[in-house]
Amino acid sequence: MLAADHALLDADPWFGAVPAERRALLLAQASIRSVAAGTRLYGVGDPPDGLWAVLDGQVRLIGYPAVGAELVVLMMGPGTWFGELSTLDAGPRPHDAIAFGAARVLHIGIEAFRRLAGATPELWWDIALLACAHQRASLAFMMNTLAQPIPVRLARTLAGLARAAAGDGIALRQEDIAAMIGVSRQTLNKALKAMEREGVIALEYARIRVVHAEGLRRLAKG
């Protein structure tokens, strides 16, 4: 593993808080591979296969709330970990994990993790904290979504998506963004066009580009 990979992972709030000796145990069992755009790392209903982290590129967790419907649940950028839920409860995967563009990912297999956790039970606590962090983030997002006006919700969501994309371009369907902030596709389109008129974003084909990051942050504050 490259020194830059270690630095990236250590900067993650969850992984960086794991004691150094347990971080070393996990990384000693990790494999790294490069995957092409569209690669499915795991799918809905698959048995647990361990923990994953993104080193380069982006992985999206995609759910299917209804027949024929598809929703991007999370966008995982460099340095972020995922896959802890099924690792904890041994249940089937609740989402597809798909590379959006070329990516480089780290994987710790489920059997390797179980062997490590058998000898070092504190690792179960570490993984539980990762699950809690994701749950708290989801709850905070839902509370903010319910309490804030639509322009504020949208600005906060776009700012978060831009950070996850590691750039100013957000390649995400408007249907997904509408579902994230709890509005109709038509209402979202009006709010996006208002932001574009203010010079904060530019609407491009299959992409939203942030052109005024400070303006977006100002809108996100309400």
User: Tens digit of pLDDT for each residue in 185-201?
Assistant: 899 999 999 999 999 99
Model confidence band, residue 174 (pLDDT cutoffs 50, 70, 90): confident
pLDDT value at position 75? 82
The average pLDDT across 16-43 equals: 96
150, two tokens: 């639509």
52, two tokens: 């994953």
pLDDT value at position 64? 82
18 burial type by CB count under 10 A (0-12 exposed, 13-18 middle, 19+ buried):
buried
The average pLDDT across 205-218 equals: 87
pLDDT value at position 12? 94
| pTM as predicted | 0.75
The least confident of 2-11, 102-111, 159-168, 202-211 is 159-168
pLDDT value at position 2? 85
* Calpha distance 222→217 (Å, rounded): 9
DSSP 2-26: -HHHHHHHHTSHHHHHS-HHHHHHH
pLDDT(167) > 70: no
pLDDT in tens, 99-109: 988 999 999 99
Compute the half-sphere exposure of residue 132: CA atoms within 13 Å on the CB side of its CA: 8
Please give the domain boundaries of the chain with CATH numbers for all domains. 3-142 (2.60.120.10), 149-220 (1.10.10.10)
pLDDT in tens, 119-135: 999 999 999 999 999 88
pLDDT(216) > 70: yes
